[in-house]
Each structure stands twice: as structure tokens, then as C-alpha cells.
Amino acid sequence: MPLYQVNSGRLTALPPTNFVAERFMERKDLQQLLRADIASLGDELMVIGEEFGDWEDSKRRIDLLCLDKKANLVVVEIKRTEDGGHMELQAIRYAAMVASMTLDRSIASYARLLRGDDAKERATKEILDFLEADSVDEIELTGEVRIILVSGDFSSELTTAVIWLNKRNIDITCIRFQPYKLGDTMLIDVAQIIPLPEAADYEVKVREQEQEVRKVRSVRQDFFRKFWSQLIDRSRSSTQILANRSTSSDHWLSAGIGRSGFSLNLSLTEDRARVECYIRDGNKPDEWNTAAFEALKGQLETIETSFGHSLNWDDLPGRKGCRISFDIPGGWRTPAEGWIDLQDQLIAELVRFEAALRRPIQQLAI
């Protein structure tokens, strides 16, 4: 969208230009403008470093290093090009390099920017004032690093990458600086294009919701790893069915029964545990799975008598496989103090289940 001038009652589009054509340099011009007035990138930013490179074994430099009001570090990467180049990759590398930066190093960086004999005292005071704190003891940097990319424009490859990274909780903002000419005067249209300002709050809420989902999933996966690990260890004294199995973060644990197309599984849902035999051979037609199931079901009375309980016989319409199972009360919501009883019951039923099904499965003539 062009920039317009009102001229004699009419709108006149100003001619766009670019920083290369205007011989506007990244470090000498754009960077100095932003260092002098960072407000165009956000009201709550403070520049604490320019050409920051306070690390060993690297000559790389961050154009501008900032703090925000939440004590996050902010990496600002600047390009004068029409597509942004590969600045997102550079900025991610920089963000990783400063992620462990302490408040003391931040003050030291700002002191180098201020210069003078009392630079450290002034840097400390100004950072404390900015963060609205009375002493350095009150402040701890969050360890989170935001990224702001500033360019004359951004390629579709770059914007696609940034949107994908934002969805994965890497906070990147793209701000376009589009120059125009008005006679001998240069005007710059500053526009945040990612995330769109009107969608920014929504995207933050979505990211927070996704974080909670990942946190819950991580806790549940940790539960499964511990639960299955204990169950495998406890099973060794009574059966070798799980002897070669390693623990899993899934809600199920599988083992073989001596024939391709048949797997023994233990599974947990919220309030139910299950021992099952799942029937499916991916190398054979789907009809084979059903035929194998029906052949076993023809021996239902013998199998259930051997097992000692009635079983669930599910041909699972619409799915490629079939299932024979036995359900046990108690799932992944079982308190830790009840794990041993549930594990022992699963192991006992697994042993009986395998004993009841092994011979009929081995003898199937299909």
C-alpha cells in the first residue's frame, strides 16, 4: 500500500524507493537511527548494546541488543535489503548465544555503550529505572530471548520460516521499513507485518495454550516412561515376554507372541488398563486380518476357558486390524501408591493371555 500526499484536494502517491538506491547503509544509517530512537520498534525497549559480541571463539556481532520491560533480552537484526536475506537464521544463532546472559553482563554491555569513568554506575541506575526496580537483587533475567527483524522487505521464504518458528514458541517480530521520497526528504513507513498487530494478543494466547498442552503431554509421557519401566522390571521374575523391551513414553507397550501379524499389547487410558492381542499383518491383504480373527473366534470357548475370563472380541469395522482384549479397572490417573498393584495385575493377565493364545495362534492354518 503506497504512501499518499494530499495535494490540492487530491491524493498523490509518493514514489517508493529502497535503501540501496538511496545509499542508506545498515550500520552507519539505519542502525544509528534505531539506536538513537528505538521506540519505532516498540515503546518498552531499551538499547543496552551495539555491535554486541561479548563471547569467545566468534567474531559475530548483534546489531542492537535490547532489554524489554519483562527483563527479556531482545536481539535486533537489521538489513537494508528488499528480501531480508537469511537474517532469521543469524538472529536465532545470536539469541542462543545470549540466552544465558546475566544481569551483570547486561550492565557491563550498557556501560561500554555509555563510556566514561562512571559508566557502570550510570548503566546500573538506568537499567534499574527502566525495569522499575530498586536494586539488582530484585532482578533476574528471564532467560527468554525475543527477536526483532528489521528490513526494507521480507521474502516469502523468510516470512514462512518466521511464522513456523513463532508457532514453535520462538518469539520473532518482523518490522518493515519502507522508504519513500518527498522531494529531497526521505520518509519511512514503519509497519509490523509479523505478527499482525491486531492478531498479536491472540497469537500470544494461542502460544500460551500450546505451552500448557505441551506441559501436560510432557508430564504424561514422563508418567508412562516411569510406569512401563517399573512394570518391565517387575515382570522379569514371572515371565520373559517383556524381557527385551525398553520403556516407552507412549500409552501402550507391545511385545511379540511368536508369529508375524499378532502383537501383545498393554495399554492405559485415563481410567482403564488393557491387555490385548492386535491382529494385523501389513504385508498381507486386509482380508487376512479378518480371517485370522474369525479363525481364533471359532475357538472362543477354549481360549476363554484357558484364560479364565470372558474376552472382548472386536473386529473393529472401518479399521484394518482386529482385537482381542481384556480390560482392568485403573488407568494413568492411578496414584503412584497404586502402581504396584496395577502393574502386578497387568503382568499376571499378560502371562495368562499369552498362554491362552500362543498355541491357537501358532496352529492357525491361514
- The secondary structure of 302-337 as a DSSP string is HHHHHHTS--EEE--TTSS-EEEEEEEE--TTS-GG
Residue 79, pLDDT score? 92
Query: Distances from the Cα of 262 to the Cαs of 103, 301, 328, in angstroms?
Result: 59, 20, 21
CATH, domain 212-362, list 3.30.1460, 3.10.590, 1.10.3930, 1.20.58: 3.30.1460
**Cell 494461542 identifies what position?**
206
Supply the mean pLDDT for the chain.
89
Whether residue 198 is predicted with pLDDT greater than 70 in this model: the reply is no
Name the residue with cell 527385551. 244
Looking at residues 107-122, what average pLDDT do you find?
92
CATH number for the 4-101+141-195 domain, one of 3.40.50.11440, 1.10.260.40, 3.40.50.2300, 3.40.1350.10? Answer: 3.40.1350.10
Chain segment 307-352, per-residue pLDDT in tens: 999 999 999 888 889 999 999 999 888 898 999 999 999 999 999 9
Residues of the chain with CATH 3.30.1460: 212-362
pLDDT score, position 139: 83
Helix or strand holding residue 12 (H, E): strand 10-13
Lowest mean pLDDT among 9-18, 110-119, 135-144: 135-144
Whole-angstrom CA distances from 31 to 28, 47, 74, 79, 181 are 6, 11, 15, 9, 20
Torsion of CA 88, 91, 92, 94, to 10 degrees: 160
pLDDT tens-digit readout, 139-197: 888 889 999 999 998 998 999 999 889 888 899 999 999 999 888 888 999 999 988 76
C-alpha cell read off for 68:
524489554
Which residues lie closer than 8 Å to 306 by C-beta, 6 or more apart? Answer: 352, 355, 356
User: Own/partner pairs for 2-7, CB < 8 Å, 24+ apart?
Assistant: 2/180, 3/178, 3/180, 3/187, 3/189, 5/182
Q: Which of the pair, 307 or 208, is modelled with greater confidence? A: 307
CATH 3.40.1350.10 boundaries in the chain = 4-101+141-195
Q: Identify whether the C-beta of residue 16 lies closer than 8 Å to the C-beta of residue 22.
A: no
Q: For position 78, what pLDDT does the model report?
A: 94
Q: What is the pLDDT of residues 219-251, one digit of tens each?
A: 788 889 999 999 999 999 999 999 889 998 889
Q: What is the pairing mode between strands 4-7 and 10-13? A: antiparallel
What pLDDT is stored for residue 158 in this prediction?
92
Residue 206 is predicted with a pLDDT of: 62
Listed residue (20, 37, 27, 6) closest to 182, CA to CA: 6
Residue 317 CA: distances (Å) to CA of 48, 280, 298, 310, 346: 64, 13, 19, 21, 27
